[in-house]
Structure 1
Amino acid sequence: MRIKFQQSLDELKERLLVMAGLVEQAIQRATEAYTSRDESLCELVKMSEPAINRMEREIDQLALDLLAMEQPMAVDLRFILSVIRINVDLERMGDQAVNIAGRVLDLGKQANVDLPVDIPRLALLSAAMVRKALQAFIEGDAEMAQSVLMLDDQVDDMNRDAFRALGDLIKDKPELAPQALNALIISRNLERVGDHATNIAEDVIFWVRGRDVRHHSLPDDGD
C-alpha cells in the first residue's frame, strides 16, 4: 500500500509540473508578444487557458482523493496541501498571462511609442522567480525557496517605479494615456506573477520544514 501511495504522490507531482510548464510557456509568450507586438503569440496564450484550467481541476481532484482515501500524515500531508495551494497559484499565473496578452492586443491597435517602463526586465525577473520557486519544489529545497522571497521586493519596487513614471507620463502627455495604462496594467500583472511565485516558495518551505512563513519574517536558521 505504501508503494502505491508513493506512486500516487509521484503522479500528483508530475501533473503539477506539466501544468507549471504550460503556465511558464504562457507567461513567456505573453511577454515576448509585448516586445514583438506579435498578435499570434497572444492568441496562443489565450488558447492555452482551457488546458491550464482543466489541469487545475484534475490536480485538485487527485489531491482530494489522496486526502480522503489515504489519510496521509506529517510530511506527506503537508506535501499534498502544498500542491493544492500551488495549483491555485499556477492557474492564477495563467490568468495573468492571458491578461497581458489582452493588453498587448490593445497596444497593437495604438501608435507604438517609447514608454518609461522596462517591461522586458520586469518580465525576466518575474519569470526567474517562477523558475526558482518551481525548482525548489522539484528538489524539495527550502533554502532555494527562501531565496525567491528575497526577490519579491525587487519586483515590487520595479512595479512602483513603473506606476510613478507612467502616471507622470499621463499627466504630461494625456494623448498617450491609452498606451501608458496598458503598460501599467501589464506591469501590475507581472508583479502579481511574482507574488504567486512567492506563494509557491512559501508553500515549499511549509512542505519541507513544516513552517508557515506567510505574513511573517523568515528565520535565518535552517533545519
Structure 2
Amino acid sequence: MADHIVKSYDEQLTRLRDTLLRIGGIVENALAEAINALTRRDAALASEVVHRDAEVDALHRSVEDQAVRLLALRQPMANDLRMIVGAIRIALDLERVGDYAANIAKRVMVLSQLPSVVGVGSIQRMSRIVQEMLKDTLDALGTNDAAKAHSVWQRDEQVDEAYNAVFRSLLTYMMEDPRNITPCAHLLFVAKNIERIGDHATNVAETIRFIVLGEEAEADRPKGDESAFAIVEPPAGP
C-alpha cells in the first residue's frame, strides 16, 4: 500500500490487514489442532477448537466494521478500494475456514467415543496439502505476493484428488462391514470439511490476485472432485 498524506488512513489500512492476518493465524492453528485431535482421538483438544471459533466470528465482524468505516469516511480509490473490498471477501472466507475446523473438531468429539476401526492416515495427508495451501495464502496476503497466491490456486486440484481417494476408501470400508458405517460417515464429513477449507484458501488466493493486480482469476480453477459420480463396486462374496 502506498503512503498517504493522512497518516491515520495508513494506520487504518494497516490495522485492517493485521486483523485479517490475525484471523488467518487463528484458523490455521484451529485446523492443525483439529487434525491433531483426530489423530490422537483427543476430545478435550477438539472441544477447545470448537470454543475458540467465537473469537474468529468476532474478528470477522471487526473487519466488516473497519471496512465500512473506511469506505464511508475515506472514499478510497484504485489499490485502496481493492484492498478494502478484498478484505471483506477474505474475512468471510477465513471465517468459513474457522467454521469447518470447528466442524471437524465436533466430529472428533463423536469419533473419540466410537471404536477405532479405520486409520486416518489418508485424511492426514490430505490435510497437510490444505494446511500448506493455507499457510502460503496467508504469507501471500502479508507480502502482497500474487505469484505465491497463484501457486495456491494451482494446487486446488491436488486436494480434490486426495478427497476422491479418501471418499472411495471410506466407502469401501462401509460396504465391507456395516459396523464401519458410523465412524466412516463421520470421517467422510471430516474429509469434506478439509476439502472445503482448500476451496476457501483458493478463494483467498484469487482475492489476493485481485488486490495486487486488479485482475480476477484468468480461468476456471482446476477441479478434480469426482465423488458425486463415484461408483464403488460391492466386495466380492465368499
TM-score range, shorter chain: over 0.9
CA shift for structure 1 position 214: 7.2
Deviation string, structure 1 residues 45-70 (Cα, Å, up to 9, x no partner): 01101111111111110011101111
The number of residue pairs the alignment matches comes to 218
Question: Match of 2:64?
Answer: 60
1:133 alignment partner AA: T
Aligned counterparts of 1:14 and 1:214: Cα–Cα separation in 2 = 28
| Aligned position for 1:164 | 168
Q: Do the aligned residues in 1 keep the contact of 2:156 with 2:221 (CA within 8 Å)?
A: no
Contact kept in structure 2, 1:78 and 1:210, CA below 8 Å: yes
In the superposition, relative to structure 1, how do residues 108 and 32 fare at CA in structure 2: closer, same or farther (>3 Å)?
same
Counterpart residue type for residue 58 of structure 2: R
- Structure 1 residue 2 displacement after superposition: 2.9
Q: CA deviation at 1:178?
A: 0.7
**Which SS does the other structure have where 1:118 is aligned?**
helix
Q: Distance in 2 between matches of 1:127 and 1:15?
A: 20
The equivalent residue for 2:97 is: 93
Q: 1:201 to 1:91 in 2, by over 3 A?
A: same
| Match among 101, 125, 132 for residue 129 of structure 2 | 125
Mean Cα deviation higher: 37-46 or 85-94: 37-46
The 1-side partners of 2:184 and 2:54 are apart by: 30
Alpha-carbon distance in 1 for matches of 2:93, 2:120: 29
Of 116-125 and 26-35, more deviation after overlay is shown by 116-125
Amino acid at match of 2:162: M
Matched, 1:113 2:117: yes
- TM-score after normalising by structure 1: 0.94
Counterpart position of 1:8: 12
Q: Deviations 1:90-131 (Å, cap 9, x if unpaired)?
A: 110010011000111111111012347611111111110000
**Is structure 2 residue 5 aligned with structure 1 residue 27?**
no
If each structure's helix is expressed as a fraction of its own residues, which one has the higher value? 1
Residue of structure 2 in register with 1:153 after alignment: 157
- Specify which of 31, 37, 48 is matched with residue 44 of structure 1: 48
Percent identity of paired positions between Structure 1 and Structure 2: 36
Higher gyration radius (CA): 2
Partner of 2:21: 17
TM-score, normalising length: structure 2 = 0.88
Residue in 2 aligned with 1:204? 208
Q: 1:214 to 1:64 in 2, by over 3 A?
A: farther
Shift of 1:217: 6.0
CA contact (8 A) 1:46 1:101 kept: yes
Q: Which of 186, 195, 199 in structure 2 is aligned with 1:191?
A: 195
- One-letter amino acid of the counterpart of residue 89, structure 1: D
Q: For structure 1, list consecutive stretches of 5 or more residues without a partner in the other structure.
A: 219-223
Contact 1:117–1:166 (CA<8 Å) still a contact in 2? Answer: no
Equivalents in 2 of 1:214, 1:94: separation in Å? 28
Q: Is the contact made by 1:117 and 1:165 (CA closer than 8 Å) also made in structure 2?
A: no
Structure 2, unmatched stretches of 5+, are 223-238
